[in-house]
Structure 1
């Protein structure tokens, strides 16, 4: 999971993942999304591959990259416990705000 979090920490890599969510793409298609040289794009793709977030297939002279959602599902499961914590806190905050509104309405 550390490799996934590290990979997601970079805006350019998140941009590539967002594009791959729409479907497979070549290196050139992904490079067009970023204001960096092609070697930088290749380094980002290597990080994504090593984290298990993308897979690559060779088609003739082109490499096609595809999103692998499994590591994101694992991350989502891990974040679920924190999501529950924040949801409870937000529910408590909502209740407190509503209580304050009722008290102000009763005084008016």
Structure 2
């Protein structure tokens, strides 16, 4: 492995670093500015989360008084969905590792 100086921060002086490090007040101000600039995005995310919660609640209400077989099938479907999501994540991470390795050759 050859150490590349361009990957270090040694060429950045302390004064420049201080410009990027915020105290608590600076963090709070930056948070407010970001939230103001991205208000529409935050509202859309909140609406999506509320819709998902309402959908889940309605779905669960459908099955409140159902049989054990239906409950078992529902649990199997949920665990299958979770397994597929986990598998996709592992595949995605593996592809990313492979891409990085190929980029470094």
Higher relative contact order (CA 8 A, sep 6+): 1
Q: Which is richer in strand?
A: 1
TM range (shorter): 0.3 to 0.5
* Length-normalised TM-score, structure 1: 0.39
Q: Which is richer in helix?
A: 2
Higher radius of gyration, 1 or 2: 2
